[in-house]
Amino acid sequence: MTRGGEPLAAVFQRLIANYGPVTLQHFMGESNARYYAGKDPLGSAGDFITAPEISQMFGELIGLWLADIWIRAGREGPFHYVELGPGRGTLARDALRAMARCGLTPQVHLVEASTALRAIQRGAVPQAQWHHDVASLPEDAPMLVVANEFLDALPVRQLVKTPQGWRERMVDFQAGRFLPVAGDKPMDAAVPPAMREQADGTLIETCPGAAAVAHDIAGRLAGQGGAALFIDYGYDRSQTGSTLQALKAHTKVDPFATPGEADLTCLVDFAAMADAAQAGGARHLGTVTQGHFLRALGIETRAANLAAAAPHHAAALEAAKDRLIAEDQMGTLFKVMGLAAPDWPDGAGF
Ligand code: SAH
């Protein structure tokens, strides 16, 4: 049971019994809205852990990247720090502390749908203002935007090639469980002509919500000035196949088993994000691996300095640094995409 009263599984069962299968996009969107609404999923006691929760070095280096591009853009006056899906507010707190050391104290705007997480963010960043989506962000000054593991939580649409043509992937309830099925409506028109000829079983995944966010933020950067970093696990050359997965207590589980009770995520298609951002008017500074980005920003020096100041933490700092940048950990699978207003300088690390 959740705060909403009726378990989401019961809601979906009723919907499907009355109206037939729901789209995967609907299933994922409702599941994650319910999942995040009432709990803090982060950390060792939760379902997954993220880079800012691993080490303060992550947020600090992001803050320094923002300060660096702001200063090199030659800007003065007020600006906004904007974060999408800030979790516990840890990244915002660490980044803002690093920016303050450079003399920068922006206004803080957090885009967060979850009431439970907003309450925790208020503890970390009490001066913030909260928004339900990017539409209400202020338009009066440049914005520096950060989003870590935000896009991967937005619902995807999947199209699958069947002998009868392209169909949307839906979720049905059969023999006591939810499972994916091909829809019965023709969907060929939703697939770009160049991609239509594919073997049966081929699956195309798109994330309309993520593309819309990239497009909207890009338009803001072009109109108001500013820069943005989108960090997530994903790929930078478009591919086919489902990347949907669910995490519960740090273990992969069946994404259809317990709607609203596990974190549903998909890999981010960074090529599609860059296209959407450029169409929205921003400059694409580049997309690189998290390992490359954090090394370029000096994470190794920062870890060594912190270890020298606190030798009893040296082993933990080394382990945290490796976790963030090692190839077999978060270093390669995670990517960093940089965007900026067309007349802004290149960002560091790309
Ligand atoms: N950036 C944080 C948290 C990542 S978890 C970190 O790195 O630790 C995903 C975050 O996005 C959560 O804060 C979640 O509540 C938020 N979120 C997910 N879907 C959202 C949506 N549609 N609108 C606003 N926030 C959303």
CATH number at residue 109: 3.40.50.12710
Does residue 260 lie within any of the structural domains?
A: no
Does residue 252 lie within any of the structural domains?
A: no
Whether 43 shows a pLDDT value over 90: the answer reads no
**Do 217 and 328 fall into the same domain?**
yes
Give the closest residue (by CA) to ligand 1 atom 20. Answer: 113
Residue 235 pairs in a beta bridge with: 269
The whole-angstrom separation of Cα 284 and Cα 250 is 33
**In which element (H, E) is residue 214 found?**
helix 208-224
Lowest mean pLDDT among 41-50, 206-215, 285-294: 41-50
Instruction: Give the pLDDT confidence score for residue 2 in this predicted structure.
Output: 46
**Do 144 and 199 fall into the same domain?**
no
Does residue 176 lie within any of the structural domains?
A: yes
**In which element (H, E) is residue 81 found?**
strand 80-84
Q: Which domain holds residue 55?
A: 38-154+209-239+267-340
Q: How many domains does the chain have?
A: 2
Q: Sign of torsion, CA 65 68 73 76?
A: positive
Residue 39 confidence class, pLDDT cut points 50, 70, 90:
confident
Angle at 153 between CA 148 and CA 154, to 5 degrees: 115
Instruction: Give the pLDDT confidence score for residue 10 in this predicted structure.
Output: 97
Angle at 2 between CA 148 and CA 178, to 5 degrees: 80
Whether 45 shows a pLDDT value over 90: the answer reads no
Three-state DSSP string of 258-309: CCCCCEEECCEEHHHHHHHHHHCCCEEEEEEEHHHHHHHCCHHHHHHHHHHH
Q: How far away, in angstroms, is 86 Cα from ligand 1 center?
A: 6
For residue range 150-181, list pLDDT tens digits in order. Answer: 999 999 999 999 999 999 999 999 999 999 99
The whole-angstrom separation of Cα 314 and Cα 308 is 8
Pocket test for ligand 1, best of 150, 216, 232 (most atoms within 8 A of CB): 150
- Kindly report the average pLDDT of the chain as a whole number: 96
**Do 104 and 199 fall into the same domain?**
no
**Do 219 and 180 fall into the same domain?**
no
**Do 112 and 218 fall into the same domain?**
yes
**Do 60 and 183 fall into the same domain?**
no
Does residue 349 lie within any of the structural domains?
A: no
**328 touches 294 (CB < 8 A):** no
**Do 165 and 112 fall into the same domain?**
no
Does residue 261 lie within any of the structural domains?
A: no
Residues with CB under 6 A from ligand 1: 32, 36, 42, 50, 52-53, 85-87, 91, 111-114, 117, 148-150, 153-154
Q: How far away, in angstroms, is 155 Cα from ligand 1 center?
A: 12
**Do 49 and 135 fall into the same domain?**
yes
DSSP state of 5: B
Does residue 256 lie within any of the structural domains?
A: no
Does residue 129 lie within any of the structural domains?
A: yes
**Do 73 and 168 fall into the same domain?**
no
The structure tokens listed for 192 are 């770009």
For residue range 177-206, list pLDDT tens digits in order. Answer: 999 999 999 999 999 898 899 999 999 999
The structure tokens listed for 12 are 């979906």
Residue 44 confidence class, pLDDT cut points 50, 70, 90:
confident
- Which regions of 149-260 does DSSP assign to beta strands (E)? 157-162, 165-174, 177-182, 203-206, 226-235, 245-248, 251-253
Q: Sign of torsion, CA 269 274 277 278?
A: negative
For residue range 229-247, list pLDDT tens digits in order. Answer: 999 999 998 899 999 999 9
- Ligand 1 atom with the smallest distance to the CA of 33 is 19
The structure tokens listed for 280 are 């929205």
**Do 119 and 232 fall into the same domain?**
yes
**Do 46 and 121 fall into the same domain?**
yes
Residue 3 confidence class, pLDDT cut points 50, 70, 90:
very low
Does residue 257 lie within any of the structural domains?
A: no
Q: Cα dist. 116→6, 8, 60 in Å?
A: 19, 18, 25
Pocket test for ligand 1, best of 26, 28, 34, 36 (most atoms within 8 A of CB): 36
Residue 285 pairs in a beta bridge with: none
**Do 177 and 132 fall into the same domain?**
no
